[in-house]
Amino acid sequence: MMKILSIIFLYFFSLEVYSQTTISGFVIDENTKKGIPYATIINTNTKQGLYTIGNGYFKITANKNDSIYIRCIGYKPITVPYYLNTNNVIDTFYLIPYTKELEEVIVAPVDWSKYREMNMGYAKLKSNYHISRGTGFEYAAYIPNTKNVDAYIYQLNYKIKKLKLDTVAVRLHLYAVSADNLPSVELLDSNYVEILEGKADKVFSFDISKFKIKLPSNGVFVGIEWLGVYNSNTNSIFSKQAVEPLVGFNFKKKEQLTYERISNGKWEKSDARKLLIGSHIEKEMFDSPIPNLSCGIVIKAPKRNKN
């Protein structure tokens, strides 16, 4: 009988830091002139990464030849060549919001009473084990639109287990599918960060109806990113090598549908079985189908005509 296993996998968001100076600055919305919370800051050379706090402030180390990559959902990312800042100047970095083409904008409100609800994906499947990763790590699972349903994506669902250790922050993602079947363009219009606290073991549902996203004919990737431990007093996040929540994985599919990456790097196929080498269920794991992230979507499709 397959046993449920919960594991915490240690992962470093930062690699070796050498002979560097601390750079501090603010990430600001070009239009509103307000700070952008939880923007991702990455030293493209050392791969050291962190997130801005509530007012957009950050501190990161950089060498003379390094560049700083800054991104946040809903904004155009920028890469800034850096230098040793001996004057300890606090810099300001402006991000420009993405704007949709007029034909893509849905102005009229949607009357959801005219739509029927359907679940797609793997969130409600039995999870065979749970995994937690470190700050900056991300999983994304492919959910095909096999019946070519014309619908809106109403909710994102994730099987999540929390042990009441810390209050933590995660970022939700929804990606279009690229020509080579990888996560590509972010479909959410703005940064979607959720703060999770307390103890839980259930399917979490997050409402994204306000984005009015149409389900693409070739499906979507549903993703989740570990940000870190959340401090409510400062509205900030600090990095941790292993951090809650734990997300469910299941053995219900025989094909690889889940991808992973760290620090906004290259997407790679995820084989979560490698995390369990040496465990008491190793043989069962490797005799089983490929494990995939237990996530899904709720869609709203037009009600069928009774006539």
Q: Look at residue 253 and tell me if it is in a domain.
A: yes
Q: Tell me the C-alpha distance between 204 and 291, whole Å.
A: 20
For residue 54, CA distances in Å to 9, 19, 28 come to 28, 29, 11
Whether residue 144 is found in the same domain as residue 273: yes
- 175 membership: H or E segment, kind and range: strand 168-177
The neighbouring-strand residues paired with 132 are 8
CA pseudo-torsion sign 251, 256, 257, 259: positive
Domain holding 33: CATH number? 2.60.40.1120
Whether the CB-CB separation of 3 and 37 falls below 8 Å is answered with no
Pairing of strands 49-51, 40-43: antiparallel
Number of domains the chain is built from:
2
Q: What is the pLDDT of residues 82-116, one digit of tens each?
A: 765 545 566 899 999 987 543 444 456 788 889 99
Closest CA to 76 of 94, 96, 93: 96
Which pTM value belongs to this model? Answer: 0.84
**141 torsion bin: left (phi>0), alpha (psi -120 to 50), beta (else):** beta
Q: Look at residue 2 and tell me if it is in a domain.
A: no
Whether residue 68 is found in the same domain as residue 132: no
Q: What is the pLDDT of residues 157-212, one digit of tens each?
A: 999 999 888 899 999 999 999 999 999 999 998 899 999 999 999 999 999 999 99
CA pseudo-torsion sign 101, 102, 108, 112: negative
Closest CA to 207 of 111, 75, 297, 303: 297
Q: What is the pLDDT of residues 120-160, one digit of tens each?
A: 999 988 888 888 998 999 999 999 998 888 999 999 999 99
